[in-house]
Structure 1
Amino acid sequence: MIKIPIYDPSTEVESLSQEVLESVQKVLQSGQFILGQNVKNFEKETADYLGVKFAFGVNSGTDALVIGLRALGIGNGDKVITTPFTFFATVEAIHLVGAEPILADIDPKTFNIDVSNLESLITEETKAILPVHLFGQACEMDELRAIAEKYNLKIIEDVAQGFGGEYKGNKLGSMGDVGCFSFFPTKNLGTYGDGGLITTNDEETARFIRMLRGHGSEKKYHNEMFGYNSRLDEIHAAILRVKLPKIEDWNHKRKEVAERYQKGLSEIPEIILPNEKKGRVHVFHQYTIRVLNGKRDELKNYLFEKGIGSMIYYPVPLHKLPVYKEKDWAFPIAEKAAEEVLSLPMWPLLPVDSQEEVIRAVREFFI
């Protein structure tokens, strides 16, 4: 039986239950369930927190990516450079708008896209770069923006795992042409269901996002394009408004968990610990180690026997998935990461004694 899961929302749910119930009750009493005042307020509050001009609630992180791409004019025949080491939704969204993902291998220390060879991948058909701030740490945004400016490319930030993270004083999701967020329940800022957000600083892009999420119309019953029914529910917005003021504290607590792991596991030569790069604020959506010498699965099984949960994000790099079986792609660093990564239990209210138990079990396995 798992005593310490990879993620446990129960303490958070219990601590917020009264505030959440009161907020949801107000929504029920208002009779406004679609794009009501909570959505408007949440969009404004989130835009202010992230330091962007516009924020739009949608119904998932995947829809945020799809709508964000389309709002920037990405479509049939276009190519978008992204990473092979991420959740499938990243490339799925590119395909869904009719574009083609072009993959670049990753940095072995951060797991983020390696910017060093991106320019060699750019052709006349390349229209955008889609970096993923994986596990809560920022990509190399200065280099990415310099490349984008040089070749007139758009940047779509996938911030599904990085809400509240920073790069040189800028919040993630504020530095690209659009930022795309997920509010899936396990995220740093998550609701009790699905939800997403798109950010931008460009007024014309904002206009397209607003239209696309509501069936392609600015004015009701005057549809100008084929869009989507993709709106953040009023109830989810109310829940997220309760949680948003707590995100800084929760992210700080995640960092404290990570620091305890770092201290307790630093002397084990057969694992590589997460590397927070200078100028970043890593928000540790996951605490992901690399287990060397082919021992990852053994460690995972050992932790399970001790009642400790762990997860492999991601066991198969995207280019090895069945949907790409016709492709002859090789990204050796991503493939090696998929064989070695293991995420340990992580959430803001993870008890200290549970953290120590995780550390003790990992140390026992190797020592």
Structure 2
Amino acid sequence: MAVPLLDLKAQHATIREDVVAALMAVVDSQAFILGEPVSDLEREVAALSQSRYAVGCANGTDALLLALRALGVTPGDEVVTTPFTFFATAGAVHNVGARPVFVDIDPRTFNIDPAAVGAAVGAKTKAVIAVDLFGQMAAIEQVIAAAGACPVIEDAAQTIGASRIIDGKRVMAGEAAAIGTFSFFPSKNLGGYGDGGMAVTQDDVLFDLLMKLRTHGGRKTYFHEIVGYNSRLDTLQAAVLRAKLPHLEGWSAGRRRNAAYYDAAFADVADVTTPYIDPANTSIYNQYTIRVPQRDALQQHLKAHGIGSNVYYPLPLHLQPCFAYLGYREGQCPESERAAHEVLSLPIYPELATAQLDEVIQAVRAFFGR
């Protein structure tokens, strides 16, 4: 039985009528640019993330770029972040002219190590980007404390709807940072039918700047207070996302159920380290990522059995050729480097049947002789 890493057709089949109706409403309105579904989605995502404001934009990468610009990051500044993440995190730093400063991760959660952040913050540091990896939030309150006076961006591309208990209060992804950023790439728990992104904030001034930056630097047509970008969230994408949003919590709960099923099945396989979820966190399991020896051989074994998997991420950003100018060498972020050699993500999407989960489990166990 073939088991893909992700099956978006299975999800689409359950919501097709709602999505098509939402899309046709936009087509009939002919309001394709910043139409009503965009502002409606912004209000709904702000409410979900317990934030005062949300600003839709073209994609998750632009959400980071706009956030950095809104915080005044300019050439010559430094931004502390993790090397074990998707490229966009550091790419956005480079593209505003700043210098990424990479610090290592917590080997259990794969998220940025707050102590390493504190050690790296210096006179040139203008911001810190904490990435929530694989569906669980970083220790955002510890990162904020370690950053001192520097504002923190929470790259929550993989954690919309995730939460963390901080001082007895449930804090949502994106809520606590100066700016939180989301991606609506199709593979995300809340994914569009194309690209899309959003930034959330509690701050009036940052909200105003984000709104200006996404539309060429002004909120009044043909008047431009700053130089911004053309980075609007498409109305068609907003309509799709609004049709999907009511299902998000159920889908994430389904991923948690599948994760628990895997956890139990691999508990007696010494070579498989299942995901560690910080007790303070409620993960949405954007990925179910195990650590194993012989990772590449296991992946080939799964492929031979028709089972999808992927490596997120095979080469940490501090060792990427495009960042050679920064002068990092192998061994400087040892936990990120070790993770890059050991991690493998397995199918976790909520529509998986028990038989499909069992197929994955049997193949992994067989590889390790269990």
For Structure 1 versus Structure 2, the TM-score category normalised by the shorter chain is over 0.9
Alpha-carbon distance, 1:351 to partner: 1.4
> Where in structure 2 are the equivalents of 1:287-302 lying within 5 Å?
287-292=288-293, 295-302=294-301
* Structure 1 unmatched runs, 5+: none
The residue aligned with 1:106 is 105
Matched, 1:181 2:171: no
SS state at 1:197 partner:
strand
SS state at 2:130 partner:
coil
The residue aligned with 1:227 is 228
The residue aligned with 2:366 is 364
Q: Deviations over 1:112-131 (max 9, x none)?
A: 11112322212111111100
Aligned sequence identity (%): 43
Contact kept, 8 Å, 2:105 with 2:111, in 1: the verdict is yes
Comparing 339-348 with 118-127, which one deviates more in the overlay?
Answer: 118-127
SS state at 2:134 partner:
helix
Q: Superposition RMSD on alpha carbons, in Å? A: 1.0
SS state at 2:322 partner:
helix
The residue aligned with 1:238 is 239
The residue aligned with 1:83 is 82
Alpha-carbon distance, 1:325 to partner: 2.6
SS state at 1:157 partner:
strand
The residue aligned with 1:161 is 158
The residue aligned with 2:145 is 146
Q: Deviations over 1:167-224 (max 9, x none)?
A: 1111111110000100000001000100000000000000000000000012111111
The residue aligned with 1:328 is 328
Question: What letter corresponds to residue 140 of structure 2 in structure 1?
Answer: M
TM-score by length of 2: 0.96
Question: What letter corresponds to residue 127 of structure 1 in structure 2?
Answer: K
Distance 1:51 1:120 in 2: 30
Matched, 1:337 2:339: yes
Question: What letter corresponds to residue 245 of structure 1 in structure 2?
Answer: P
Comparing 111-120 with 275-284, which one deviates more in the overlay?
Answer: 111-120
Contact kept, 8 Å, 2:103 with 2:333, in 1: the verdict is yes
Aligned pair partner of 2:349 in 342, 347, 350 = 347
Question: What letter corresponds to residue 9 of structure 2 in structure 1?
Answer: S
Distance 1:122 1:52 in 2: 27
Matched, 1:280 2:277: no
> Where in structure 2 are the equivalents of 1:186-225 lying within 5 Å?
186-225=187-226
Distance 1:97 1:174 in 2: 24
SS state at 1:94 partner:
helix
Distance 1:297 1:289 in 2: 13
Distance 1:194 1:317 in 2: 24
Distance 2:274 2:328 in 1: 31
The residue aligned with 1:134 is 133
Distance 1:116 1:233 in 2: 39
The residue aligned with 2:22 is 23
Q: Deviations over 1:236-281 (max 9, x none)?
A: 1010001111111110000001000000011111121100111101
Contact kept, 8 Å, 2:85 with 2:131, in 1: the verdict is yes
The residue aligned with 1:40 is 39
The residue aligned with 1:308 is 307
The residue aligned with 2:48 is 49
Alpha-carbon distance, 1:31 to partner: 1.3
Question: What letter corresponds to residue 232 of structure 2 in structure 1?
Answer: R
Alpha-carbon distance, 1:77 to partner: 1.3
The residue aligned with 2:11 is 12
The residue aligned with 1:252 is 253
Alpha-carbon distance, 1:140 to partner: 1.1
The residue aligned with 1:268 is 269
Distance 1:349 1:186 in 2: 14
Question: What letter corresponds to residue 131 of structure 1 in structure 2?
Answer: A
The residue aligned with 2:57 is 58
TM-score by length of 1: 0.97
Alpha-carbon distance, 1:341 to partner: 0.4
SS state at 1:74 partner:
coil
